[in-house]
Amino acid sequence: MPNPNPDKLNEDLNTAKQVDLINVGALTREQLTPAAAAAPRGQDHAPTDKADHDEHDGHSHDGHDHGPVGERPYLWPAVSLVLLLAGIALDYFDVPFFAGLVRPIWYGVAFLLVGWKVLRAAVLSVPSGNIFNEFLLMSLATLGAFAIGEYPEGVAVMLFYTVGELFQDAAVNRAKRSIRALLEIQATEVTVVREGRPLVIEPQQVQVGDVMEVKPGEKVALDGTLNGPAASFNTAALTGESAPQTKQTGETVLAGMINLESLVQVTVTAAFKDTKLSKILAMVQDAVGRKAKTQQFITKFAKVYTPIVVVLAVLLVLVPFFVVDDYVFRDWLYRALVFLVISCPCALVISIPLGYFGGIGAASKNGILFKGSNFLDVLREIDTVVMDKTGTLTEGVFAVRQVVPAPGTETPELLRLAGALETKSTHPIAKAVVKHAADAAQGVPVESVQEIAGHGLRGRVDGHDVLAGNTKLLRKFDVAYPPEVDEVVDSIVVVAVDGQYAGHLTVADAPKADAVQAVRELKADGITKLVMLSGDKDSIVQRVAAELGITEAHGGLLPEDKARYVQQYLDAGHKLAFVGDGVNDAPVVALANVGIAMGGLGSDATIETADVVIQTDHPSKIATARRIARATHRVVWQNIWLAFIVKGVVLALGAGGLATMWEAVFADVGVALLAILNAVRIQRMKF
């Protein structure tokens, strides 16, 4: 397994998740380098030279460069708008100095501030043979307006085009950060014992067979086996589960785990590039790289629409020469240029992003962040939802579920003694017991506390010898307990007082309040397959699945196991969404058709990798997101058909000489306004 390259990981993520208006209908290759803009379709991300790579990186991370200064994408459209409005005012009042060359230069500057990249893309696409694209049509239409002296219209058309792209950029630019946070999990240095002395080196320099020293609170740098006594480790980075694991001598310890106790020694069994954690990072990189880039409607439409419109405009100039007696070239050229301005797909281009923008805005109001409009489309089409357990369907916080005192022991007394002893531990299960005991454990004298690794606590509590831990602790001290205690599914704290079994407490992660509702709504919404995958032990996973009404569940899984299951579902033809929250979920979040992260408490890496983020941590929002996606789809296609119909009518009028340049622009603006109102309607819907 190769060692993941941070720069490559970021580049692949940007390539796979590049949303911008490529997905909703404006400058479909605005974010690419000139070389990529000139490449044939399907090769948008072909390798470029170093200069182009640098430029691509700049766009990827900072948004589009809509003018001479890419760091301020709104500045030059704003300047262009001011110049346009000022020019219209100067025209209206017939200001003397605004005559001669001043007028075209004035509007030319306003035009180039927003249109130079479109013109450049149109020119660069010629050598590749990709001539008939939206860039060419936009360029011909606006330059045609300038050719017949309709400067304000040419500027307005290009400005409107650019503003539409900025609307979409504003919705998704903040979701285009890299997932470098994932790499921070890896330790940057490791202490190895060589020739009897500790030596601090980089993990890449450690050899299989070396002995590492891991201090309390320190991350394990490489996979290995534990030397010496038992020790507890926080395994959340790999399993996503909050319960620490106790490792015995000779058991496997994985990179990314955190040592919770005293200094331990680990014999290295895998090189740095072969550790489980490196494999997780590589899986994210590979899965992101397999994300297909969506080719949206406007790009396909432009391939057919653009050459037809250009040919019709040429014919509109030439054919009348043979059939009209009083043919005047200038008049028919004017009609052809008006025809091109009318045919400019501005209304269509703006109606699509505004529809998706409305959907993204509606989702945001409901606590859901879509990182791109294409994910609205894909989420609408899924038939399978795979979910993690801890932190996704459950709270991710341990709590005492049941207190079962032994005969002759009162519940308050059991809680008082157990809670007081557990105050001496920092273990999450111990904290859950202390929280449940509340005031009963306060002020109780505790002394001679001994923590027995992998077993629990022993101490003197209010004059009694008390044991609190797992069943191994009681067996160690020859304390008999009922056999049914071994059959308890949840995590358990057994308690013995003065050598006698006193009862037990079950500790578990409770389902979220809306988890059952989430499952019910997804089933009602047409999801045919619901699956739970978890790193928790299988018995607990099956119990939680039964409580929630999920028929397929698998527990005891590492990240690669989850990825294997997801890949099997994808290979079987399912369109799949994966919902998770932990770092360990990042690979499968990236692998799924739609990755959904719980954003309130979820890990940064998973949130960065995900396509959709549930900011409120409520799983019921998944069904809400699907309803928003369907509503957005309806509105977008309403806008598309509106633009088609109006465009067709005005094109016919323009060809017949019945529509002027201003009427054409007015028709476009009118359609756009209707599209805006329709898009705003999405945000007012109740989901």
pLDDT, tens digit, for every residue of 372-390? 777 888 899 999 999 988 7
At residue 57 the predicted structure's pLDDT band, cuts being 50, 70 and 90, is very low
- CB-based contact 300:133 (threshold 8 Å): no
Predicted confidence (pLDDT) at residue 502 exceeds the cutoff of 60: yes
Give the Cα-Cα-Cα angle 13, 235, 210 (nearest 5 degrees).
Answer: 90
In this predicted structure, which of 75-84, 238-247, 283-292, 415-424 has the lowest mean pLDDT? 283-292
Q: What is the DSSP string of 411-442?
A: HHHHHHHHHHHHTT---HHHHHHHHHHGGGGT
pLDDT category of residue 497 using cuts at 50, 70 and 90 = very high
Least confident of 81-95, 506-520, 641-655: 641-655
Nearest partner of 506 among 551, 451, 552, 543, judged by Cα? 543
Among the listed ranges 218-227, 271-280, 318-327, 378-387, which one has the minimum average pLDDT value? Answer: 271-280
Task: Sheet with 231-234: list strands edge to edge.
Answer: 245-247, 231-234, 258-259
Q: Cα 585 vs. chain centroid, distance in angstroms?
A: 12
pLDDT band of 511, cuts 50, 70, 90 = confident
Summarize the confidence of residues 552-570 as an average pLDDT: 89
Given a contact cutoff of 8 angstroms between Cβ atoms, the answer to whether 664 and 341 are in contact is yes
pLDDT at residue 36, as a whole number: 36
Residue identified by tokens 């609190």 is: 468
- What is residue 344's predicted lDDT score, i.e. its pLDDT? 63
Residues of the chain above pLDDT 90, percent: 30
**What is the C-alpha to C-alpha distance for residues 116 and 620, in angstroms, rounded to an integer?**
46
Q: Tell me what the mean pLDDT of segment 76-99 comes to.
A: 93
The candidate with the shortest Cα–Cα distance to 359, out of 347, 345, 376, is: 376
**What is the C-alpha to C-alpha distance for residues 652 and 15, in angstroms, rounded to an integer?**
41
Q: How far is residue 81 CA from its own chain's centroid?
A: 34
Strand arrangement of the beta sheet that strand 384-387 belongs to: 368-370, 612-614, 594-598, 576-580, 384-387, 529-533, 552-554
The Cα–Cα gap between 550 and 579 comes to 14
Q: For residue range 61-83, list pLDDT tens digits in order.
A: 333 343 444 457 789 999 999 99
User: The domain 370-394+511-626 belongs to what CATH superfamily?
Assistant: HAD superfamily/HAD-like (3.40.50.1000)
pLDDT: which is higher, 21 or 123: 123
Residue 643, number of CB atoms within 10 A of its CB: 23
pLDDT at 284: 47
- Residues 196-235 pLDDT 10s: 888 999 988 999 999 999 998 888 889 899 998 888 888 7
**Residue 547: is its pLDDT beyond 50?**
yes
Residue bearing the bigger pLDDT, 292 or 448: 448
Average pLDDT, the chain: 77
Per-residue confidence (pLDDT) for residue 6, from 0 to 100: 43
Predicted local confidence at residue 245, as pLDDT:
79
What is the predicted pLDDT for the residue at 41?
A: 35
As given in the structure block, the two tokens for residue 370 are 């879509």
| Residue written as token pair 């622009």 | 665
The CB density around residue 585, as the number of other CB atoms within 10 Å, is 33
The pTM for the full model equals 0.58
Tracing tokens 């032990």 back to the chain, one arrives at 537
Strands 224-227, 252-253: pairing kind: antiparallel
Express each pLDDT in 624-655 by its tens digit: 999 999 998 898 888 888 877 887 887 777 76
Lowest mean pLDDT among 70-79, 141-150, 300-309: 300-309
User: Residue 298: pLDDT band by 50, 70, 90 thresholds?
Assistant: low
* pLDDT for the residue numbered 594: 92
- Would you state the pLDDT for residue 584? 67
| pLDDT over 70 percentage in the chain | 75
Cα separation of 545 and 553, whole Å? 6
Q: Is-catalytic flag, 388?
A: yes
Rounded to an integer, the average pLDDT of 459-482 is: 93
Dihedral sign for Cα 27, 33, 37, 41, please.
negative
Catalytic residue among 44, 286, 388, 585: 388
Residue 108 has pLDDT above 90, yes or no: yes
Least confident stretch, 225-234, 353-362, 418-427, 615-624: 353-362
Confidence band for 417, pLDDT divided at 50, 70 and 90? very high
The domain locations on the chain are 74-183, 370-394+511-626, 396-510
User: Which pLDDT value is given to residue 662?
Assistant: 64
Res 11 pLDDT > 50: no
**Residue 667 or 423, more confident:** 423
Distance CA(675)–CA(669), nearest Å, equals: 10
Across the range 278-285, mean pLDDT stands at 55
Q: How far is residue 158 CA from its own chain's centroid?
A: 31
CATH of 396-510, one of 3.90.230.10, 3.40.1110.10, 3.10.20.30, 3.40.50.300: 3.40.1110.10
Confidence of residue 370 (pLDDT cuts 50, 70, 90): confident
The mean per-residue pLDDT over the stretch 153-166 comes to 76
